[in-house]
Structure 1
Amino acid sequence: MRLRAISACVILEVVLSAATLHAPVAASEWGCEVLFCASSSKPSWRGVSACHPPMKRLIAAMNKPGFDWPACPEAGTSRPGHERYAACPEGYRVGRRKDGDSLTQEGDLCVKTVSICQDKAHGFYNSDRQRSCIQTISISRPLRLEPYYFDIENDTSGQTERHWFELNR
């Protein structure tokens, strides 16, 4: 069984409220609660009161040694993906900050090459002059507001839909 994208906040509230009325939640049930809540988008899980207990439990568990993301086998998902950085603005490409003698692991910059020479009306420049006109500028790559995601297959369309979420306290 694949999880269908749920946009109806009321259905989510009912499902989670029923699940939390029972005795301690099994790991797979908790994983499914987390998945339901994380995939809630309008409003996000923060706007669904029934999502607060499972998501706060998740956030607290993430800080403990040996944390393993709760799975939801019924939906075919386990741990979510994580992308710290958003896409670079148009015209920029991903670059990396030089950290001592090596480059950082993640592309944490957005870079582009520009010509800084304004006066092109005076004819041709020699190659040294042209090279001195070219500079690479960089800006810090924007961080995602919602860096975690689940890819969930939609039973109706067969398409995979990406659901972004955040876990800040």
Structure 2
Amino acid sequence: MKILGSGFLASIGAAGILLTVNTSARAADASWGCQVLLCAASETPSWHGVPYCVPPMTKLIAAMKLPGFSWPICKEGNAGKPGLEPYEPCPAGWTATGSSSTSEHGSSSQQNVCTRSLGRCNSKATRDLVRNSGVGIETQEVYAESGHNGSSCEVIQTQPRKLRAKPYFFDIPNIKGVKQRFWFDLNK
């Protein structure tokens, strides 16, 4: 009985997961951890579009909210627990930095901001870069003591990092041991 669509099977084949799925073995017989891994690796369509995947992934989302949650592992997949990268990379020339924020749980710091230095405050090139900056970019002048020369000024820009649509990932090794990254979300 074929349970999975061809796009789903293709993504599993590309992942090189060491689970044997043939006509006598059904994916529904896999452990919960392997079901989660197989479904998370589904790319076209994502797990949301594979009817077989909705129950184990919905079960995972609900379980994550419970105290003492432990990620279900698929030992045969050699992938372990997933990684989490909530933000997209910063644009070229920008560096991910942290900003301190205060929430109901106290103060926290994460790399949720992209920062770049434009150079000295009094530079024409710096002024031109500031003038051509996009929307949502904050510019500030930072003064620092520079010893016997007095203080120097540098123009720093910041912008919020974009959140990833699919922030979780599994690095799944193929039969040669080369890992391939599969991104997924846990939105209902």
TM-score normalised by L of structure 2: 0.66
Gaps of 5+ in 1: 1-6, 23-27, 121-126
8 Å CA contact 1:9–1:48 kept in 2: the answer is: no
What secondary structure is seen at the aligned counterpart in 1 of 2:156? strand
Percent of residue pairs bearing the same amino acid type: 38
Aligned pair count? 144
Q: Please state how far the C-alpha of 1:150 moved relative to its aligned partner.
A: 0.6
Q: Would you say 1:138 and 2:164 are equivalent positions? A: no
Q: Which residue of 2 aligns with 1:90?
A: 92
The RMSD of aligned alpha carbons is 2.9
Amino acid at match of 1:160: K
Q: Please state how far the C-alpha of 1:79 moved relative to its aligned partner.
A: 1.4
Amino acid at match of 2:163: L
What secondary structure is seen at the aligned counterpart in 2 of 1:96? strand
Which is strand-richer, 1 or 2? Answer: 2
Gaps of 5+ in 2: 11-20, 126-148
What secondary structure is seen at the aligned counterpart in 1 of 2:55? helix
- CA 1:19/1:42 → structure 2, altered by over 3 Å: closer, same or farther? closer
1:158 to 155, 171, 177: 177
Question: Cα deviations across residues 8-48 of structure 1 (Å, max 9, x unaligned)?
Answer: 43648xx6x9444x6xxxxx711101000001111111111
8 Å CA contact 1:111–1:137 kept in 2: the answer is: yes
Q: Please state how far the C-alpha of 1:145 moved relative to its aligned partner.
A: 1.3
Q: Would you say 1:106 and 2:110 are equivalent positions? A: yes
Q: Please state how far the C-alpha of 1:158 moved relative to its aligned partner.
A: 3.2
